[in-house]
Amino acid sequence: MRFLFCAGSRQCALAALTTSVLVGLTGCVTSSRHVADPAVDAFSRDRTVQLQIFLDGRQFGPGVVDGHSGEFTSKALTLYREAQGLPVNVVPDVSGIQPYTQYAVTEDDLRRLGTMALEPAEQAQQKTLPYIGLTELLAERFHTTVAFMAELNPGRQMDALTPGEVITVPNIDRPFRVDAFPSGYSRPQSSVAGTRRVQVDTGLRMLRVTEGDRLLAAFPLTPGSDEHPAPLGEWKITGAVPWPWYRYDEGVLKRGERTETFYNLPPGPNSPVGVLWTGLNRPGVGIHGTAFPETIGRSGSHGCIRLSNWDAATFYTLVAKGMPVTIQ
**Annotation marks residue 288 as catalytic:** yes
- Catalytic choice (6, 228, 302, 304): 304
**Annotation marks residue 304 as catalytic:** yes
327 pairs with which residues across the strands? Answer: 200, 233
- Catalytic choice (68, 143, 288, 302): 288
* Residue among 109, 278, 246, 279 at smallest CA distance from 178: 109
Query: In this structure, are residues 40 and 77 in contact, taking their beta carbons and an 8 Å threshold?
Result: yes
Distance of CA 212 to the CA centre of its chain: 26
* Residue among 181, 133, 140 at smallest CA distance from 308: 140
Residue 300 sits at the vertex; the CA angle it makes with 298 and 301, to the nearest 5 degrees, is 135
241-247 long-range Cβ contacts below 8 angstroms, 24+ apart: 241/276, 241/277, 241/278, 241/279, 242/181, 242/182, 242/275, 242/276, 242/316, 243/181, 243/182, 243/267, 243/268, 243/275, 243/276, 244/271, 244/273, 244/276, 244/277, 244/288, 246/271, 246/272, 246/273, 246/277
Q: Catalytic site residues?
A: 288, 304
